[in-house]
Structure 1
Amino acid sequence: MGMRLDFHDVSVQIEHKWILQSVSGFAEPGKLLAVMGPSGSGKTVLLTTLAGRQSCQAGTVLLDGNSLDKKLRRKIGFVLQDDVFLPNLSLHETLMYTARLRLPSNRKSDEVATRVRWVETKLDLIKCKNTRIGNISNRGLSGGEKKRASIACELLHQPAVLILDEPTSGLDSDSAYKLIKLLKKIAISSQTAIVLSIHQPSSSVFQLFDRVVLVLNGETVFFGKAKSVVSYFGSLGLHCPPSYNPADFIMEKLKGTSEEVKRLQNGPHRRKENAINTTTTSINPSLFVVMDGRNLRLQSRRESVMSVDILRYFNEDYRSTPSVGDSSESAIFRCTKIRRLFRRLCRKRSDGWGVPTAQPYDESYPTSFLEQYFLLTRRSFRHSSKAVLSTLEIIRHICQAVIVGLLWFQVELSEDRIGDIQAVMFFCVIYWGFESIYQAISTFPSEHDVIDKERASGSYRLSSYYLAKMTSELPLVIVMPTIFFAIVYWLSLWNSNLLGFFLSWGFIVLDALVAQSVGLAISALTSSIDQGIAIGGMYMLTSLLISGFYMQILPPWLSWSRYFAFSYYSFNAFLTLAFDYNDEEFRCADPDVASIPECKLGNVTFITGDKISRQFEPLLLPLWLNGIALVGLFVIIRVLGYLALRYINRPSR
């Protein structure tokens, strides 16, 4: 059974500016309510407020007579103006994962599949269900298909109210008409109250609306049946020419001369003055006094006649209290006494006055933490693997590894080539530092938008998502550094010790994981890719300078900074493994140019690696300490990224 959405005297202030002022109205089950107005009139803010994602400084939003809270907001579907998806998943995969996350966990798999199939059929998505969603760089669904996919995601959990922000934006007139007609059918068949904003519909689209809210400069200038708009404008001296599109006429007058705008803004006041008393009335769950024609009454889905004494109470208060009207055919008024009485009625159970008993709603998520974790792990792996393990990426990294391996091919183990050995190791560390950071910064923002949308709808816990992302991407982050490092290591062969190889591989993987953590944390803290790239580049270039390759001994006042650079620990470990864990000996340079004390004496031709590592003693840390430092940075930075997502860049409500 559908639910009625009522909003009364809604006022919203953003950055010290009033965007909405005393906006009122309602949306009924099985009906289509259109919110119209010029650009900047507050349509989107009104919709986000009705969806419970924007707080209002004054007024109330009620769903079946209950104030919106976290559990009730899950009964409202909200389709954003921009279609936000994970681009590498197919449409069917997207719908299946959404259904499993948002439908109760006691639903069987075949029931979930049936629901997805029903939505795909209802929205004519069967033919494109196996098509990848796509994005600007990778073509996928068309604009109309993406819009229907957005609606499909919200219909999966059978919302009581469906709110859509500019659903026809970017569509041609025929596609727009078909979409609104489809929404009309869905509203009737599922008894869903549908609220949508639309800028300037065609006449055929306008005829599909049941009720209309006209918003101008954050105020309601009309609320009532769509077929009554033209006659109401006519009563204000604004006459629509014959055979003229009513929607075009409405928008022209909303953006008309100052005299026309003044008439519209004063219209509800004039209508209110002509109201007369009536002897019967009824009450609705939203507790609104409504003027229907020339009769002042209260309205509900369950009509119940009130006593004459109570009616007189309303009419006396109505006559004596100045108020701001907000509609045309159904004007909504506010009064101090009425609001006090309404609050008392809200606390009562249904007792013949038509006030419905507030029903208890389940506060928990539709699925458990573990179910969310496993579902999100599979989804994240399928999405990320198509980008990380793409053919282009594999070829690129292999080619780069071969180039590096050939440049340092079978590098000679001699004192003269120590600098070259340092260079190839440092290149591997920095290469995967930059790669991992920029990959996270460039790919996470699009996923961040999806997280915001799904968190705002109450689909899952942030902790389950974050843990799932860490788990799913762990094998993906390991694969490419492993392939790259194996090629470089065995081509250059600076250490033929098998233990040295595996330990070096472990540190290059840790290096990539920590770098990815830095990229995710930066993305979580910043609001754009450009900001993330700027901060990530500055961090990596600073790390490059202080990691010990270019300068081993930093100024005393700056020496502490290298401990915050993960590349310092990675490069430190590589130096230890290259020399202390090397079974082979290094050839000494000529005594005249040798820098190692043993070689300067000219008594030896070869020296062991530990003699060389002494040259880096101001830089070197124990191998185990480097490992602990990298693991510690990984954990700390991941926690910081989680806190940033939770408390800094969190979605509205």
Structure 2
Amino acid sequence: MQFEKVIYKAKIIQERFFFINSSKSEEKLILKGVTGIVLPGEMLAMLGPSGSGKTTLLTALGGRLGAAAAGTLSGTVTYNGRPYSNGMKRNTGFVTQDDILYPHLTVTETLVYTAVLRLPRTMPTPEKAQHAEAVLAQLGLARCRHSVIGGGLLRGVSGGERKRVSIAQEMLINPSLLFLDEPTSGLDSTTAQRIVSTMSELCKDSRTVVMTIHQPSSRLFYMFHKVLLLSEGNPLYFGKGSGAMDYFAGIGFSPSVAMNPADFLLDLANGVSGDGESPELDPADVKQTLVTAYRTHLLRSVESEVEGYDSQAKPGCADRHNPKLFKEWPITWIEQFSVLFRRGIKERKHESFSSLKIAQVLVVAIVSGLLWWQSDASHLQDQVGLFFFYSGFWGFYPLFQAIFTFPQERMMLAKERSSGMYRLSSYFMALTLGDLPMELVLPTIFFTITYWMAGLKPHAGAFLSGLFILLYSVLCSQGLGLAIGAVVMNQKSATILGSVIMLTFLLASGYYVQHVPKFISWIKFLSISQYTFKLLLSSQYSPGDTYPCGPDRTCLVRDFPAIKAVGLDDQAVCVVALGMMLVGYRLVAYVALMRLGVTKK
């Protein structure tokens, strides 16, 4: 891998209202012309203090900045002389600093699902599972293979084991180029030693490993074949790890006492000279001196090495990254959908089918049934109120369940899509269909309990049509929640926006306000609640039905004020309108995911 004069300018946005930038962005120079080369069999460590640009450079080299990055990248990055491509993406491993894993899956399940998705279709599924078991054993995860990953309030494997699971996911594809972002962060020295030693063993098989690391021990430091030291985006050193101390001593910087080379390099990157005999120098002057020294003494030799290396001189290197070998997706669309659907059900069943949610719906259903206990035609206003309650409660509930879907899944989606694991369409379909069981079971139970407790029409046709309408409305509200979550991608902002939209729909549905001014009456044509309320009334009442409106007197149901304001006609229009919303909101969610740069296809 060769990289020449890599410059990255980031746009810093200080304020944001929902998904709209409400202030001018500022541009900040993060990387200031970084050049280097890493050969097969070498491990490069990027050192530097926080904010020096290590992770940005690693992400750029790994092709993970993508269209969503708020900045511009310039310079040249090649792999065996070729630019980054989808084929390279599927043959490159990238381990993020934060372990992005599903908490309810076991270690074995996590690796097997990843293997099925990432390994080529020519390999049978049982063989993929065996390969996952082999990688699991190679990284010392056999002891915890049946333990859940855990996270948050769910206890699972240890931090070191989680990191090794993340590394194992990338090793499944036998990558020739592996990137790791702070793989030893937060780990004890023994665990960190084990992980770096494993990476060193990988290099012996002509693989290339590039990692960022914050403060390695001296034992780890001397494992690195090459070291890149960064300070505020400027390279201060690039070369063999064993030669770093001699280089800085040669330009007048040496430690006053024996110390860890990595600690000394970090001191220099922070502007601390390390020479106890000279007066303390200004950190800015030290950094500038080191930048000038690098450009004077090292830059030309690094550029010569990059320019002089011929990737074709290494037999087999070009063939290993032949784009034709990785032109197609590892598995077919239907196989991707099947795996993602099963994985999604297994992961989200713990949340979707939680006893708390079931108890919440059951309690509200029973209380509602008792409040509307055996109401009859003489209590028409009460029955109308029940149908409006249906449209309101089952408008809000699925909306807020769906709003959190994509914000919670965003990091996992970005990680897996950047590795070329699956199409966005297969993921989208698997996720939305996987949520249907719980989305439909709970409202069915709720409607069944309240319908018969409230004493509504004891006819199968009326009951089934009302249930169908309610489920139809639930799917529309779910689609709206998915769209809001995908567009906003911020849970707090999405919740506020969803509340405003649904409350507006309820107010315009014709129950609270029956004489809406014409200049604002158009809102009802966008209201899920209005169409649902109207269809629920039509499922229970016909235009010719009557109700007792006085002593020995009956009136037409259609003339009842609360019903007359909404009407009992044009049911077909309501069904078509809800159908358009059901499809349209999901299309908005899908396009929003593409717009965010999560995917390129």
In 2, the alpha carbon distance for the partners of 1:384 and 1:273 equals 52
Shift of 1:502: 0.6
| Pick aligned residue for 2:407 from 437, 442, 445 | 445
In 2, the alpha carbon distance for the partners of 1:648 and 1:209 equals 37
Shift of 1:25: 1.3
- Contact residue 525 and residue 641 of structure 1 kept, 8 A: yes
Secondary structure of the 1:366 match is coil
Shift of 1:393: 1.9
- Gapped regions of structure 2 (runs ≥ 5): 12-26, 67-71, 272-282
Shift of 1:301: 7.0
| Pick aligned residue for 2:511 from 518, 538, 549 | 549
Q: Which has the higher contact order (CA 8 A, sep 6+)?
A: 2
Secondary structure of the 2:209 match is strand
Q: Match of 2:241?
A: 226
- For residues 269-418 of structure 1, the aligned pairs below 5 Å read 269-271=295-297, 289-290=304-305, 298-299=308-309, 359-361=322-324, 362-414=326-378, 417-418=379-380
Secondary structure of the 1:212 match is strand
In 2, the alpha carbon distance for the partners of 1:460 and 1:228 equals 43
The 1:129–1:435 alpha-carbon spacing in structure 2 relative to 1, beyond 3 Å, is farther
In 2, the alpha carbon distance for the partners of 1:469 and 1:124 equals 32
- Contact residue 445 and residue 523 of structure 1 kept, 8 A: yes
- Contact residue 483 and residue 589 of structure 2 kept, 8 A: yes
In the comparison of the two structures, how many residue pairs are matched? Answer: 568
In 2, the alpha carbon distance for the partners of 1:581 and 1:392 equals 41
- Gapped regions of structure 1 (runs ≥ 5): 276-286, 292-296, 305-349, 591-601
Q: Match of 1:26?
A: 37
Q: Match of 2:23?
A: none
- For residues 110-149 of structure 1, the aligned pairs below 5 Å read 110-149=126-165
| Pick aligned residue for 1:629 from 569, 577, 582 | 577
- Contact residue 34 and residue 212 of structure 1 kept, 8 A: yes
Q: Match of 2:537?
A: 575
- Contact residue 87 and residue 133 of structure 1 kept, 8 A: yes
- Contact residue 453 and residue 651 of structure 1 kept, 8 A: no
Shift of 1:211: 1.0
- Contact residue 186 and residue 192 of structure 1 kept, 8 A: yes
Q: Match of 1:294?
A: none
Shift of 1:153: 1.3
Shift of 1:355: 9.6
Shift of 1:589: 4.0
What one-letter code is carried by the residue in structure 1 that aligns with 2:457? N
| Pick aligned residue for 1:266 from 264, 270, 292 | 292
Shift of 1:49: 0.8
The 1:493–1:91 alpha-carbon spacing in structure 2 relative to 1, beyond 3 Å, is farther
Q: Match of 2:475?
A: 513
- Contact residue 65 and residue 356 of structure 1 kept, 8 A: no
What one-letter code is carried by the residue in structure 1 that aligns with 2:107? L
More divergent stretch after superposition (643-652 vs 393-402): 643-652
Q: Match of 2:15?
A: none
In 1, the alpha carbon distance for the partners of 2:318 and 2:145 equals 44
- Contact residue 558 and residue 564 of structure 2 kept, 8 A: no
Q: Match of 1:474?
A: 436
Q: Match of 1:244?
A: 259
1:120-158 Cα distance to aligned partner (Å, 9 max, x none): 112222232333333323333332222222111111111
Q: Percent identity?
A: 34
Secondary structure of the 2:373 match is coil
Is 1:41 the counterpart of 2:52 in the alignment? yes
Secondary structure of the 1:78 match is strand
1:391-450 Cα distance to aligned partner (Å, 9 max, x none): 222222112211111111112321xx2222122222222112111111112343121221
Shift of 1:567: 1.1
Shift of 1:609: 4.6
Shift of 1:202: 1.9
The 1:621–1:163 alpha-carbon spacing in structure 2 relative to 1, beyond 3 Å, is farther
Shift of 1:615: 4.3
What one-letter code is carried by the residue in structure 1 that aligns with 2:246? S
Is 1:92 the counterpart of 2:108 in the alignment? yes
**Structure 2 length-normalised TM:** 0.88
Runs ≥4 residues deviating over 6 A? 301-304, 354-358
In 1, the alpha carbon distance for the partners of 2:533 and 2:223 equals 67
Shift of 1:576: 1.5
The 1:139–1:564 alpha-carbon spacing in structure 2 relative to 1, beyond 3 Å, is farther
The structure with more radius of gyration: 1
Shift of 1:566: 0.8
In 1, the alpha carbon distance for the partners of 2:475 and 2:101 equals 25
- Contact residue 54 and residue 652 of structure 1 kept, 8 A: no
What one-letter code is carried by the residue in structure 2 that aligns with 1:644? A
Q: Match of 1:432?
A: 394
In 2, the alpha carbon distance for the partners of 1:581 and 1:230 equals 91
What one-letter code is carried by the residue in structure 1 that aligns with 2:308? L
- Contact residue 557 and residue 563 of structure 2 kept, 8 A: no
Shift of 1:619: 4.1
- Contact residue 116 and residue 129 of structure 2 kept, 8 A: no
Shift of 1:254: 1.1
More divergent stretch after superposition (79-88 vs 506-515): 79-88
- Contact residue 405 and residue 492 of structure 1 kept, 8 A: yes
| Pick aligned residue for 2:591 from 631, 636, 643 | 643
1:459-482 Cα distance to aligned partner (Å, 9 max, x none): 111111112223222233111111
1:488-510 Cα distance to aligned partner (Å, 9 max, x none): 11111222221111111111111
